[in-house]
Amino acid sequence: MSFEITDSVEGGSLGNFLKNLSRRQKGTMTCAFLVLLLLLSKTYQSTTYAFFSYDKTTARSLSSTYSTPTFINIPSLEIALAIDEATISHGFWGINTNSASHLSSSPVPGEKGNTVIYAKNTPANFGRLTSLKKGDVIVIDTKDGIMHEYEVINLNVVSPTDSDLINNTEKEMLTLYTSYGFGDLKRFVVRATPIF
């Protein structure tokens, strides 16, 4: 379908042009506008992503005893991703497009507390995370060359405002999460404990 502006559009006014459109044409233009908005919002999400509101006072600072995570391997899902450090800025969680992200204000593997790693819900990142099962193994490599193994103990779907699952813990814990559901309106969260 194409639109042709003719002499019947008085003075070239957009208002007059819209008056002359049929209901069907207006509906088509509305749909096209909504699709454009959706595409623009997805483009914006590729660089920043609002996941949870987060209380920074619950986060632990990195310890000099342990090393930052550099790689995640989930053998049962054939997920193997580099991990880069990321931060929260003005309530938005920085997210890497081609790798997983370690929330730099959360503990690192081997350290007491809740290590938080997240990635986009795409086939190349954490898109298959929802297929994990209790008992599956997750391996995190750290910069010092140590492999930390974790066993999945819990899988949850939560709202974006539910930050309880990313708060710090008394014992060592690994939390993975990604967006989930229609319009990415939910979060899929995986909890895992160390295998000793």
Q: pLDDT (tens digit, 9 = 90+) per residue, 26-79? A: 666 665 555 544 444 444 343 334 444 333 333 334 445 789 999 999 999 999
Token representation of residue 163: 């930050």
For 41, 83, 97, 105, 119, the CA distances from 143, given in Å and listed in that order, are 35, 10, 21, 17, 19
Q: Which CATH number fits domain 48-194: 1.10.3720.10, 2.40.260.10, 3.40.50.261, 3.40.190.10?
A: 2.40.260.10
Name the burial class of residue 187, with classes exposed (0-12), middle (13-18) and buried (19+) by CB atoms within 10 angstroms of its CB: buried
pTM for the model: 0.69
Which residue has 């391997």 as its token pair?
A: 73
* Whole-number Å distance between alpha carbons of 93 and 125: 16
Domain ranges of the chain: 10-45, 48-194
For residues 76, 80, 81, 82, the Cα torsion angle rounded to the nearest 10 degrees is 130
* Whole-number Å distance between alpha carbons of 51 and 49: 6
For residues 113, 116, 75, 82, the Cα torsion angle rounded to the nearest 10 degrees is -120
- pLDDT by residue, tens only, the chain of 196 residues: 444 444 444 455 555 655 666 666 666 666 555 554 444 444 434 333 444 433 333 333 444 578 999 999 999 999 999 999 998 888 788 888 899 999 999 999 999 999 999 999 999 999 999 999 999 999 999 999 999 999 999 999 999 888 787 889 999 999 999 999 888 899 999 999 999 8
